[in-house]
Amino acid sequence: MMSLEEYWKKRDFSKTPEPKGEIEKESKNRFVVHDHYAKKAGHHHDFRLEMEGVLKSWAVPKGVPEKEGIRHLAIQTEDHPVAYLTFKGEIPEGEYGAGKVEIFDIGRYKLLEKKDNKIIFELQGKKLKGKYVLLKLKRKNQWLIFKAKS
């Protein structure tokens, strides 16, 4: 059962402009990649796939690879509400994830395979296009993301 409890617990919605959101009834297979200029974690990408009524989310410190053969660490974070697809703005100092959030890319994806330890999908974004793989590593919440040969 997916939940936004962890997302809600980490935020004070009277201070942050982030959407509170809710679990959606249907998925439209959308994705977003945020450029997150976080004060604590530094600049990274937040990669989000709309799935099971929420945005499954990963922090990607070195960014989502745009070329085949490059593998980057992706750290799974709490699910975000689908309303976060279009979020951009400044998360205030003192709040979880404080810093500037911009949209790097947004679009749709086609799910090709989904297992507990592997997700294969085709991105149809403005910048990111093609077949991608998220592969779960042994360590908790750690995945690899890479562009696969089409």
pLDDT in tens, 73-94: 999 999 999 999 999 999 999 9
Look at residue 84 and give its three-state secondary structure.
helix
| 149: CB partners within 8 A, 6+ apart | 68, 131
The whole-number pLDDT of residue 27 equals 86
Q: Are strands 71-80 and 142-147 parallel, antiparallel or unpaired?
A: antiparallel
The whole-number pLDDT of residue 97 equals 94
The whole-number pLDDT of residue 2 equals 58
Helix (H) or strand (E) holding 5: helix 5-9
Please give the residue range of the domain that contains residue 38. Answer: 5-147
* pTM of structure: 0.95
- CA dist., res. 103 & res. 55, Å (int): 15
Residues of the chain with pLDDT under 70: 1-2
The whole-number pLDDT of residue 1 equals 44
Nearest to 119 by CA among 33, 65, 61, 51: 51
Domain count, the chain: 1
The whole-number pLDDT of residue 41 equals 86
